Structure 1
Amino acid sequence: MYNERAKNIRESLTADCAKCFGLCCTALNIVASSDFPINKPAGTPCVNLQTDYGCQIHSNLRETGFKGCTVFDCLGAGQVVSQVTFKGQSWRENPEIGGKMFRVFPIMEQIHEMIAYTAEALSYDIPHALSDKLSVQLKELQNLTKLDAEQLLSLDLMMYRFPLNKLLAETSKNIRERLIVKLPGTKNAKNYNHERADWIGKKLIGKDLRAIDFRGAYLIATDMRNADLRGVDFIGADLRDADLMGANLSTSMFLTQMQINSAKGDVKTILPSHIQRPSHWIN
């Protein structure tokens, strides 16, 4: 009942920069680091932002030190704030709305993130009772995107995050436990709980990691080349510089575009249908 519609919702959550007023280039705070060569306070346009809200160095961001820009993904929040919340009014033509628009953007980004997780959970084969709860959550979150700026700024997002986190954890457990019983030589599901594990730089080349719970795990620079990562829960995991070349993530759960953008991969890396292969990956 929910699967196809939810899958379509998840896959539709992509940024359309042509319909956005450069909000990620303006609203967010930037600190000089290995990801950015400059400091930029929130609410100040990036030096590379053009008058048409395009980026003058878009084709060579990584080469000029703006690696962080190639990682970021707003899941379509930018165009919704620009075209729905502020009804097509730009902060350049209407300076009085700029401050409010920049504060609304990260709120909408979080809402879209929760919608993405909820829709993905609904796309799986899960018990009806769980699907019903997730469906209610999805409708509530979608309604939030229609609120005006003042209403969005007054939201307590924790009221939505806490119940959703419980539902996502239940979804993950349901799916992974069904997969675990089918795996050869696996009887103890506790062996698959690596939530918040510190596996930074760990060598896992070619390993069968199916159904592992990596919620909130530190996987920075972890070598997972040619690993089997099907059924793995990656929600909140840090995949910066993780090597996923040749890895199978086709049915990995709660994986985001930003996580993949921050990792390394190649044409042999198998990704879920809602994740795009980063242009900076090895061909």
Structure 2
Amino acid sequence: MTTLEPDCARCVGLCCVALPFRPSSGFSFAKDAGEPCRHLDAAYRCSIHATLRESGMGGCVSYECFGAGQQVSQVVYAGRSWRDCADGGAEMFSVFSVVQRLHEMLVLLDQAGVLAPGPEVSQLRRRVEARTSGDPAFILDTDLDRLAALVGELLRGVSRSVRGDGPSYAGHDLVGQDLRATDLARADLRSALLVAADLRETVLDRTDLLGADLRDADLSGADLSTALFVTQPQLNAAHGDAATVLPPGLRRPHSWPAAG
């Protein structure tokens, strides 16, 4: 089965080259797609990995490839590097972009399979996973929009079956709001803007957080153990502490304070 957790030691720094970024709260300088980050060393490692946030590169901390890096590096390209490619890695970077999206779909489908096991979820998962290997042309021919639509519709159905008639804040602008007194159990917060929202000690019981923007949201002491469709980048971008309860399978970000 495809591994969906990043293993940077088995990658050739694809995210550090393939992705563009611009100066913002997450990056301290600009870089074009296909241009190696100035901090990428000869061994495909980040030379400032231990001090990314302090160096103004918090966007790198939040980013997650869902294991696409090693899948492309080791499986699709059999250990070859973009540095050895005649096109400078352009094809490899495009493949990486596709596989990253497919792996994110797989992460969400795995969550759906736990919540509502059945043939529909497993069949769609096999269909998505089948596009993550093979030759580059096969992967690049993937109809991502079609697969994303199918996955999205399935996840909506699972969410409705689990949440019932919970309140909907889908797509709402909740930036900076104090939500500690708001009952968010079974709520639909899909694609809600929760940037810098105060969610301390809230109980997000069966709360759908698919695509919610949790940048700088305070999750200290919050219980997300049964929250729906939370992904690692959302947690990486938020603030939490040792008392924050995470959904199964997700990692506590290194930037969060440890138990004192």
Q: TM-score when scaled to structure 1? A: 0.88
Residue 96 of structure 1: how far off its partner (Å): 3.5
Return 23-32 or 198-207, whichever deviates more: 198-207
Q: Which residue of 1 aligns with 2:220?
A: 245
- Given that residues 6 and 66 in structure 2 are in contact (C-alpha distance below 8 angstroms), is that contact kept between their aligned partners in structure 1? yes
Alignment of 1:198-213 (within 5 A): 198-205=173-180, 207-213=182-188
Structure 1 alignment gaps of length 5 or more: 1-8, 178-188
Q: Which residue of 2 aligns with 1:57?
A: 48
Residue 97 of structure 1: how far off its partner (Å): 5.8
Q: Deviations over 1:86-133 (max 9, x none)?
A: 111111233446110011111110000111111110012x3x6xx211
Q: Which residue of 2 aligns with 1:135?
A: 122
Separation of aligned partners in 2, 1:89 and 1:95: 12
Aligned counterpart in structure 1 of residue 195 of structure 2, from 220, 226, 240: 220
Q: Which residue of 2 aligns with 1:15?
A: 6
Separation of aligned partners in 2, 1:210 and 1:165: 21
Q: Which residue of 2 aligns with 1:231?
A: 206
The one-letter code of the counterpart of 1:107 is: V
Q: Which residue of 2 aligns with 1:167?
A: 154
Separation of aligned partners in 2, 1:100 and 1:148: 11
For residue 70 of structure 1, give the secondary structure of its aligned residue in structure 2.
Answer: helix
The yes-or-no answer on 1:82 pairing with 2:82 is no
Residue 154 of structure 1: how far off its partner (Å): 2.1
Separation of aligned partners in 1, 2:111 and 2:99: 18
Q: What is the RMSD of the two structures over their aligned residues, measured on CA atoms?
A: 1.5
The one-letter code of the counterpart of 1:170 is: G
The one-letter code of the counterpart of 2:110 is: A
Structure 2 alignment gaps of length 5 or more: none
Residue 207 of structure 1: how far off its partner (Å): 4.3
Q: TM-score when scaled to structure 2? A: 0.95
Q: Deviations over 1:34-54 (max 9, x none)?
A: 111111000010000011101
The yes-or-no answer on 1:94 pairing with 2:81 is no
Q: Which residue of 2 aligns with 1:254?
A: 229
Alignment of 1:27-66 (within 5 A): 27-66=18-57
Aligned counterpart in structure 1 of residue 171 of structure 2, from 189, 196, 216: 196
Residue 282 of structure 1: how far off its partner (Å): 2.2
Aligned counterpart in structure 2 of residue 108 of structure 1, from 79, 85, 99: 99
The one-letter code of the counterpart of 2:237 is: S
Separation of aligned partners in 2, 1:24 and 1:151: 21
- Given that residues 207 and 228 in structure 1 are in contact (C-alpha distance below 8 angstroms), is that contact kept between their aligned partners in structure 2? no
The one-letter code of the counterpart of 2:73 is: S
Aligned length: 258
Aligned counterpart in structure 2 of residue 121 of structure 1, from 83, 89, 112: 112
Separation of aligned partners in 2, 1:198 and 1:211: 18
Separation of aligned partners in 2, 1:282 and 1:244: 12
Residue 163 of structure 1: how far off its partner (Å): 1.6
The one-letter code of the counterpart of 1:221 is: A
Separation of aligned partners in 1, 2:63 and 2:139: 22
The one-letter code of the counterpart of 1:68 is: G
Q: Which residue of 2 aligns with 1:151?
A: 138
- Given that residues 207 and 224 in structure 1 are in contact (C-alpha distance below 8 angstroms), is that contact kept between their aligned partners in structure 2? no
Return 254-263 or 143-152, whichever deviates more: 143-152
For residue 270 of structure 1, give the secondary structure of its aligned residue in structure 2.
Answer: coil
Separation of aligned partners in 2, 1:21 and 1:172: 37
Separation of aligned partners in 2, 1:161 and 1:70: 25
Residue 139 of structure 1: how far off its partner (Å): 0.5
State, as a whole percentage, how many aligned pairs show the same letter: 40
For residue 26 of structure 1, give the secondary structure of its aligned residue in structure 2.
Answer: helix
The one-letter code of the counterpart of 2:157 is: E
Residue 59 of structure 1: how far off its partner (Å): 0.5
- Given that residues 133 and 139 in structure 2 are in contact (C-alpha distance below 8 angstroms), is that contact kept between their aligned partners in structure 1? no
